[in-house]
A = this chain, B = another copy of it.
Amino acid sequence: MAPVYFTPGPAQLYPTVAQHLQNGLDKQVFSLSHRSQAFKDLYRKADEGLRALFNLPQGYAIYFTGSATEIWERSLQNLTAQSSFHLVNGSFSKKYLSHAQWLGRQAQAVQVPFGEGFDIDALAVPQEAELLAITQNETSSGVCMPVQDIHALRTYFPEPLLSVDMVSGAPYAALDFSKVDMAFFSVQKGFGLPAGLGVWLVNERCREKAAQLEGQQYTGGHYSIASLQEQYTQFQTPCTPNVLGIYLLAHVVEDLLAKSIAVIRQETEAKALKLYSFLEESALFSPFVQKPQHRSPTVVVANVEGRPAAEVITALKTQGLVVGSGYGAFKDRQIRIANFPAVSEADVDQLLIALKKL
């Protein structure tokens, strides 16, 4: 049996990926000109699928980049002249903040300890903030912001553009996109695809702000919202994109839709419940995130008590079960278990049997 990857990205490939890749090779999709009608049709297919999957309001555009990391940079270059505000509770939200600082923005943040979420009702966001950056799912700590909290942010702070990093939360997170202004993810997490493609969902408010800033400051050249949008209206890209990644995305999104996003969410929650219930009862493991409402359904982080995490990881690996190590300083005492759609309930059951035997 081939190992199952419960790693939080790159992750287990979605079961249909190998067949889609073979079809793409057979049809020579990866030799197609990115200026051809066939490529435009492919972009449109990915666009329509993602719109349906996320229930995107009209007016949203969908751009492709090389990574989600790049979208931190491009969003700041295009949507802020002066200032941004960041909710920081882990390594990835911190990196978004760092990028704002590197760009010379007056970047402020509210920071909570690793493993904690935010009390939205107690939050203060400075009046001048042009962009409010939040991380819906912190891949490093396994903390998730409930979508109701994200929606409440819009009510509390209607002015700043609301940017949602949903890198390891999409497509599970049932975000109401009418209550945010942009969101982004990379495909090697919840979509179960090979890495190398970022996806950026951008509404009209963002495009208006970007249009104001265009010509006033450097906005990314070919990768500015103005440039991306101009190409997008014809289902084109400013430069040769990762056509293979877009092809796989379009087809896997079709598969997810065939299954239905409601079913995927139910399955994700059922698998997450099993994992957290085990962690609660286990002597060897415990859930790292204390507050149940902040526990991520898609990236489950567990403390390992009384022995090095590496020992656990190795023991599981010999049984064909690959889990992730803790992030950064937590490498030695945590494991991370990705609960993405590519991992079945049977896979989780198998993992639980192995975890119980440790």
Categorize the interface residue count of chain A.
35 or more
CB nearest neighbor in B for A76: B221
Asked if A12 CB lies within 8 Å of chain B CBs, one says yes
This chain: copies in complex = 2
- Per-residue interface assignment for chain A, residues 194 to 226, with 1 indicating a CB less than 8 Å from any chain B CB and 0 otherwise: 111100000000000000000000101111000
Query: Given A25-B21, A67-B239, A69-B238, A196–B244 Cβ distance below 8 Å?
Result: yes
Residues of B with C-beta under 8 A to A28: 2-3, 5, 13
- State which residues 50-66 of A face B: CB under 8 Å: 65-66
A221 to B324 Cα, complex, angstroms: 26
Asked if A112 CB lies within 8 Å of chain B CBs, one says no
A17 to B28 Cα, complex, angstroms: 12
A33 to B327 Cα, complex, angstroms: 12
Contact, CB under 8 Å: B244 / A195: yes
Contact, CB under 8 Å: A242 / B242: yes
3 A-B pairs with the lowest CB-CB distances in the bound complex, closest first: A66-B66, A196-B242, A69-B239
A residues at B contact (CB < 8 Å): 2-3, 5, 7, 9-13, 17-18, 21, 25, 28, 30-34, 65-70, 72-73, 95, 98-99, 102-104, 186, 188, 194-197, 218, 220-223, 238-245, 322, 324
